[in-house]
Amino acid sequence: MSYTKVAAIYADSEALSGKEVQVGGWVRTIRDMKTFGFIELNDGSCFRNLQVVFADGEVANYKEIAGQNVGAALVVTGTVVLTPEAKQPLELRASSVRVEGTSSPEYPLQKKRHSVEYLRTIQHLRPRTNLFSAVFRVRSAAAYAIHEFFQERGFVYIHTPIITASDCEGAGEMFRVTTLDLENLPRTGDGAVDYGEDFFGKSANLTVSGQLNAENFAMAFGDVYTFGPTFRAENSNTQRHAAEFWMIEPEMAFTDLKGDMDVAEAMIKHIIRRVMERCPDDMNFFNSFVDKGLIERLSHVASSDFARVSYTEAVDLLKQHNDKFDYKVEWGCDLQTEHERYLTEQIYKKPVFVTDYPKEIKAFYMRLNEDGKTVAASDCLVPGIGEIIGGSQREERLDVLERRIRELGMKPEDYWWYLDLRRYGSCTHAGFGLGFERMVMYLTGVSNIRDVLPHPRTVGNAEF
């Protein structure tokens, strides 16, 4: 007899009514009423528990079962009974219960509310709580929705490299990747570390973005996307930054900034709709216990147009509220999270694309506008988070791009292959990057990035 998932029992309850099934799962609560008992069993297939009723005389080992602790793994064989009058729609009346693995009174997840800070110290067990089981189920559904969105539109999924010898952003703080023996470093004639002896024959790092590589493939496939881990060695300890996080980076040939924003907006709406369809119980939990109003807000976002405003207009709007900000806004400044959130939360009350930023605060590969001062960039800001997407039309003109690289003190020869794309069949193209964890935070209302990553990596933390 094979196992039936709790999700399948709820989904097919009418068909399974009166039928015998076998379920494997873990005890969330157990109550011994002397001659019969109740178990709330969770198998992780859905948010909901399955109520198991076991009675002395019906199961052979009543005492053994009644004595189990929270966290024990059980295999229950029994009959599905619909209970339309009860709180829960059905229960499983056990004919046999087998203990697969016991637990103990020291089990760290007793039936009480634990702080998220404490739960971060037991990351191997926290997925067994309501909060984290919902978070990681939504994370998985969101990831699949993203693949679905792009694949259905003919985008080719590209695994851009994780280890890289170039620094895409020309700036980011990067992790070094090495096989050199640090206790015995090879040296060149002049005493410097000899990276020629390293694994790749040169200095190598963890990628901060797959974009430049993705452009190689957009110039062959038209529409491509990446979905992979990226890294920042920033010594910052905020709720929104992790050293290792996942990014989605679509890149589209024959597409301008408007087309880029259209795809970004459609993608966010698709993710929201799919997650609400596929994880209703998880979303209701977040709506009730984490962020009241979440579902209404997401529904509103999924069905309304995002605002679009130029950086110059946004600065004019924000300057009127400079008394509210720690950092005063003026043209030329980089928008801080406080400004981004004010714009999306207070002024527009919905997601907003801010476009055409001053070139000085944006990356070298963004397309220079006709005004010579701004670039065709576009950041998408959402309530509660701030920036969730950064995108731009890419500079497709060889001469302009080379000039920009030199202006920034970088060497064109380091970008020979990226420049080649502008030598052979260059075209209008654009792309963006979605920070996946920020999207999951937006979907769940969870406010700390450490609580949406399976095992977060931050300054001083690489446990588990």
Residues in 156-215 that interact with a copy of itself by CB under 8 A = 156-165, 173, 175-180, 182-183, 185, 192-193, 199-202, 204, 206, 213
When the beta carbons of 199 and 289 are compared against a copy of itself, the nearer one is 199
Out of 18, 154, 189, 409, point to the residue binding a copy of itself (CB under 8 A). Answer: 154
CB of 146 to a copy of itself, least distance (A): 10
Out of 100, 117, 296, 313, point to the residue binding a copy of itself (CB under 8 A). Answer: 100
Sign of the C-alpha dihedral, residues 342, 348, 352, 353? negative
List CB contacts of 40: < 8 A, sequence separation 6 or more: 27, 28, 29, 30, 49, 50, 51, 52
Q: d(Cα 142, Cα 276) in Å, to the nearest integer?
A: 10
The interface mask with a copy of itself, positions 108-147, x = CB under 8 A, is x-------------xxxx-xx---xx--xx-xx--xx--x
- Retrieve residue 426's tokens: 């260059």
The interface mask with a copy of itself, positions 210-239, x = CB under 8 A, is ---x--xx-xxxxx----xx-x-x-x----
Residues of span 27-46 touching a copy of itself by CB under 8 A? 27, 43-45
CB of 148 to a copy of itself, least distance (A): 8
CB of 369 to a copy of itself, least distance (A): 19
When the beta carbons of 178 and 369 are compared against a copy of itself, the nearer one is 178
- Retrieve residue 27's tokens: 């005890």
Report helix, strand or coil for 150.
Answer: helix
- Retrieve residue 34's tokens: 């002397």
List CB contacts of 242: < 8 A, sequence separation 6 or more: 437, 449, 450, 453, 456, 457, 458
Q: d(Cα 76, Cα 216) in Å, to the nearest integer?
A: 54
Residues of span 426-455 touching a copy of itself by CB under 8 A? 426-428, 453-455
CB of 178 to a copy of itself, least distance (A): 5
Q: Give strand pairing partners of 394.
A: 366
CB of 192 to a copy of itself, least distance (A): 7
Residues of span 284-343 touching a copy of itself by CB under 8 A? none
List CB contacts of 165: < 8 A, sequence separation 6 or more: 200, 202, 203, 204, 205
Strand runs (DSSP E) across 66-107, as ranges?
A: 73-82, 90-101
Q: What is the DSSP letter of 8?
A: H
When the beta carbons of 82 and 185 are compared against a copy of itself, the nearer one is 185
CB of 408 to a copy of itself, least distance (A): 21
CB of 195 to a copy of itself, least distance (A): 9
Using the rule CB under 8 A, is 457 a contact of a copy of itself? yes
Picking from 128, 123, 95, 94, the residue whose alpha carbon sits closest to that of residue 111 is 128
Residues of span 367-406 touching a copy of itself by CB under 8 A? 396
Q: Give strand pairing partners of 30.
A: 39
CB of 253 to a copy of itself, least distance (A): 7
When the beta carbons of 173 and 338 are compared against a copy of itself, the nearer one is 173
Give the CA distances from residue 266 to residues 215, 304, 308, in Å, rounded to whole numbers and listed in that order. 21, 11, 14
When the beta carbons of 403 and 457 are compared against a copy of itself, the nearer one is 457
Out of 1, 34, 189, 424, point to the residue binding a copy of itself (CB under 8 A). Answer: 424
